Amino acid sequence: MRILNTRQMREADRTTIEAIGIPSMVLMENAGRQVAAAIEASYAEALEDRIAVLCGRGSNGGDGFVVARTLMQRGVEVSVFVIGALAGITGDARANLEILGRLGLSVVEIQDEQTWELHFSEIAQCSLIVDALVGTGLSSALRGMVETVVADVNASGLPIVSIDLPSGLIADSPHVPGATIDASMTVTLAAPKLPLVLPPGEARVGEVVVADIGIPLDIIDALDGPRLELLTPEDLRGLVEPRVPDAHKGDFGRVLLIAGSRGKTGAAALSALGALRSGAGLVTVATPASSQPVVAALAPEFMTAALPDGPDGQLADGALEAVLELDADVVACGPGLGRGDGVRRFVRRLLQDGTGPLVLDADALAVLADTPGELLGREDRDVIITPHPGEMARLLGRSADDVQRNRLEVATEFATSHHVYVVLKGYRTLIATPDGRVFVNPTGNAGMATGGTGDILTGMIAAWVAQLLDAEAACRLAVFLHGAAGDRATAEMGDVAMVASDMLAHLGPALQHLLQPRKVAGGVE
């Protein structure tokens, strides 16, 4: 599902109006009716009392007028308040304001804080507030009286339903510029916007409902500009083909994991089990010889291979030659390897001399921090990196806080300049591709902030690369299922007690749930 910025949303509106012939008045009508339907679906009890609709003077306010009219015509008591002079309302919003007047619904004009204080006590007695103050047109922080309005509305304790965006958020940035509505639900029009899906803005939006207002999906898909998408089950479901009855393990790929070292054997096992639980037919863990007996004892389902190691229990010279003799469709490297000189030389040579898809994580990224220029993909070889913010910061020579503040820009720039796929882990994991597209993952939770969860993801990505033979599709599917399994594990164990291995048992149910067709009115999707 595509995420749009302000310019793209305006272009989608314009194309729909001019090329398709759907009038702007119809789009506004559709928007208001969809918001009203979302309120009816989620806040039925609130509709038994009075609803307050707070409107600005632009198109967002016009949407609010349609919401008020729709609810009124369905028997709901509605009070409408306009923040600003009624005389400044024009276009479709003016037309819908005048319709309210002809239907006998009076609108309260509030032009100063004294008038606001006079009417706020009335608003506070309502059961729900509709926020139609400012939509996607905002480009800077709210100023003046509207700041007071936002503060009072937030302090009311009432559920708040925002139209398109909570007032105060800016469509082109996930950051919170100042005072903003703290919505219980946001009904966004046609497509999600950036602050609805990325922190810190998404903490202010509540439940997000994407309303179809009549803009064709083909128009949204064809828009120029940044290509940012939200992962959805509908988009991912078709990636997994049913297995035929006569399938055998060789049909589902051979994964080679180069992982583990003395004291870090658990990382290798978690990564291998993540690959197996993601459907890989054969998984081999290549690990330092001194760690092989320990790794082999951790699970019977994966194979192991011993690599030359040194006194520190980490890889030594000769390891690459041993790896190149092993059969694999995809290689993943890094979990628990350590950061010694032998590991550093191994990873650099693996990048230079290896063939086939490569997934790099953890220590394999840490040893490249001084020479990130070596981390390059090739036309004949997909390279996927899966850093957490600290690892990404070391590759860039920046702070982890800086990476967190600029996650989208950092992931995109590194992916395009190094021709690699970047899976920037964390809350709302990002997948950036070499051609500049970015996918936002909506699954996952704070319970996954524990050692080992990233190792599982490395194995999962490798397994899906081996099966799908498509690096981008593998990253999208693995990241979504990884978060979904984490959500299931946390629901069972709680976000404090959950450990990484709890996720493994939930990978299968997460996949099964993804594959179930979604029920829609009149049938299934």
Task: List pLDDT tens digits, range 491-514.
Answer: 999 999 999 999 999 999 999 999
- pTM score of the predicted model: 0.94
Nearest by Cα to 4 from 220, 294, 165, 166: 220
Q: How sure is the predictor about 518, in pLDDT bands with cuts at 50, 70 and 90?
A: low
Over residues 379-392, mean pLDDT: 95
Half-sphere exposure (Cβ direction) of 222: Cα atoms closer than 13 Å? 10
Mean pLDDT of 471-489: 98
Strands 383-385 and 358-360: parallel
Compute the distance between CA of residue 155 and CA of residue 158 in angstroms, rounded to an integer. Answer: 8
* Low-confidence winner among 288-292, 351-355, 393-397 (lowest mean pLDDT): 351-355
Which residues, at least 6 apart from 273, have a Cβ–Cβ distance to it below 8 Å?
299, 301, 302, 456, 459, 501, 504
The whole-chain average pLDDT of the chain stands at 95
* Residues 6+ away with beta carbon under 8 Å from 398: 410
Look at residue 519 and tell me whether its pLDDT is greater than 90: no
Q: Is the pLDDT of residue 441 over 80?
A: yes
Beta-carbon contacts of residue 264 (< 8 Å; ≥ 6 apart): 335, 336, 337, 338
C-alpha count within 13 angstroms, C-beta hemisphere, residue 390: 4
pLDDT digits (tens, 9 = 90+) for 123-150: 999 999 999 999 898 989 999 999 999 9
Kindly report the three-state secondary structure assignment for every residue of 38-57.
HHHHHCCCHHHCCEEEEECC
* Residue 23 phi, psi dihedral angles, 5° rounding: -65, 150
Q: Is the pLDDT of residue 323 over 50?
A: yes
Strands 430-432 and 421-424: antiparallel
Mean pLDDT of 460-480: 98
Give every CB contact of residue 341 below 8 A, 6+ residues apart in sequence.
none
Domains located in the chain, CATH noted: 2-226 (3.40.50.10260), 253-443+450-514 (3.40.1190.20)
In the block, residue with structure tokens 């991912």: 236
pLDDT at 253: 95
Neighbours of 205 (CB within 10 A): 24
Which pairing describes strands 254-258 and 330-333: parallel, antiparallel, or unpaired? parallel
Does the pLDDT at position 521 exceed 50?
no
Predicted confidence at residue 520, as pLDDT, reads: 44
**Pairing, β 160-163 against β 185-189:** parallel
**What confidence score (pLDDT) does residue 164 get?**
97
Mean pLDDT of 189-205: 96
**Which pLDDT belongs to residue 522?**
42
Do 283 and 312 meet the contact criterion of CB atoms below 8 Å apart? Answer: no
- For the chain, what percent of residues have pLDDT higher than 70? 98
DSSP, collapsed to helix, strand or coil, labels residue 444 as coil
- Report the 10 Å Cβ neighbour count for 168: 26
